[in-house]
Amino acid sequence: MRPSLLRYAAQALRRRDYSSAAAAAERKVAILGAAGGIGQPLALLMKLNPLVSSLSLYDIAGTPGVAADVSHINSPALVKGFVGEEQLGEALEGSDVVIIPAGVPRKPGMTRDDLFNINAGIVKGLCTAISKYCPNALVNMISNPVNSTVPIAAEVFKKAGTYDEKKLFGVTTLDVVRAKTFYAGKANVPVTEVNVPVVGGHAGITILPLFSQATPASNALSHEDIKALTKRTQDGGTEVVEAKAGKGSATLSMAYAGAVFADACLKGLNGVPDVVECSFVQSTVTELPFFASKVRLGKNGVEEVLGLGQLSEFEKEGLENLKGELKSSIEKGIKFAHAN
C-alpha cells in the first residue's frame, strides 16, 4: 500500500491528533477472536493505526493465515498470530489494549441475550487469562450481550484481584456511528460533522440516542422524526442481522467502530487531551452499576465519566423505560460470574 493510501486509511479514523509525542509510545494491542467476521477487518484497521507498534491476533482457529496476510501491509505495527489456548498467554503479555470480539453472533429472530449461554463462558475464560497475563490492559468488550459481558468481566477481574473500573469498557461506539449516520441523513447535515451521544446500554431499548444534544442542531426534525431515528438506532443491529439473513451480524461497521474506540483509548493512554467517547462503564450516572455515557479517556483509562446533560421529555421517558431491562442484564452477568 502506498504511504498516501495508508495515510488516507488512518485518517478515516476520527480525531486525527497523531502528534509526535502521542505517536512515540510503543503500544501493544491484542485482538481476541481475530479470525472472525469483526476480528479480521478490525485487525486490518489496527494494523493501519500509527499508534500501534505491536498487534497480537488471537483466535481458537485461523489466526496464522490472518496474521500472515495482515503482516504484509507496510505499516509499522509488528503482527503476530496466536492460535489455541496454549498460546493465549503469549498473545496477551505486555498488551496495553485488549479488544474482544470473540463469540457467536446473532441470527434472525434472536436477541443479543440469546447469545449469553455461549458467549458468557468465552468471555469469562478470556478475562481470566487477561487478569493473569496483562492485568493493567484496557479491555474493550465487543462480545454480546455487552450489557452482561461487561459485568461478567468485572466480576472475573474482582475475583482475581485485578479489577480497575477505569480499564473496562463495553464498546457501544457502533450505536454512536449509526446515530450519526441516520441523523445526518434525516437532518441533511454533513455526516462528518455530526456528534450524537448514545447512552444506556447496548441492546434494543437500552440503547438511548440523545438526539436533543445532536450537533449540528437541526430544527427541521419533528417529534415523529426523532422517534423514528431513535427506533432505527435501537434496531440498527437487527436491521443488519436480517439483511445478512443468517450469515451473522454487523462486522464491517463494527470493525470501524471498534477501531475508532481503540484509537481513542490509545490516544488517552498517550496523553492526548480531551478524548471523549461514549462507552458502557462502571458508573454512578444513574442508580445502575454500569451505564453507557460520554467518558473522558486518559493515561489510566477512564479519566471522567460525564453526566447525561439536559434530556428532552422523550429521552427522560426512554431513560426510565430502559432501566429495568438493563438492570436485569447486568445482574444476569454478575450471577453467572459468581456461579461459574
Ligand X SMILES: NC(=O)c1ccc[n+]([C@@H]2O[C@H](COP(=O)([O-])OP(=O)(O)OC[C@H]3O[C@@H](n4cnc5c(N)ncnc54)[C@H](O)[C@@H]3O)[C@@H](O)[C@H]2O)c1
Which of 250, 269, 330, 337 contacts ligand X by CB under 6 A? 250
Any contact of residue 101 with ligand X (CB under 6 A)? yes
CB of 306 to ligand X, least distance (A): 20
Cis ω on the peptide bond leading into residue 145 (within 30° of 0)? yes
**H or E stretch at 88:** helix 88-92
Compare residues 144 and 213 and give the one whose CB is closer to ligand LMR.
144
Any contact of residue 39 with ligand X (CB under 6 A)? yes
**Parallel, antiparallel, or unpaired for β 290-298 and 275-282?**
antiparallel
Reference 102, options 119, 85, 89; nearest CA is 119
Coarse DSSP helix, strand, coil percentages of the chain, rounded to the nearest 5 percent: 50, 15, 35
Any contact of residue 250 with ligand LMR (CB under 6 A)? yes
Residues 6 or more apart from 255 whose CB is under 8 A from it? Answer: 38, 40, 41, 42, 44, 45
Each residue 109-128 as x (binds ligand LMR by CB under 6 A) or -, in order, gives ---x----------------
CB of 22 to ligand X, least distance (A): 26
Residues 6 or more apart from 149 whose CB is under 8 A from it? Answer: 119, 120, 123, 141, 143, 170, 333
CB of 10 to ligand X, least distance (A): 22
CB of 314 to ligand X, least distance (A): 24
Residue 338 bears catalytic tag: no
Any contact of residue 143 with ligand LMR (CB under 6 A)? no
Q: Over the range 16-35, which residues count as b (16 or more CB within 10 Å of their CB) and which as e? A: eebeeebbeeebbbbbbbbb
Q: Among the candidate windows 23-31, 186-194, 236-244, 313-321, which touches ligand LMR by CB under 6 A?
A: 236-244
Catalytic residues: 202
Q: Which residues bind ligand X (CB under 6 A)?
A: 32-33, 35-39, 59-61, 101-106, 115, 119, 122, 125-126, 142-144, 146, 171, 174, 202, 248-251, 254
Q: Which residues are annotated as a binding site for NAD(+)?
A: 33-39, 59, 119, 142-144, 254
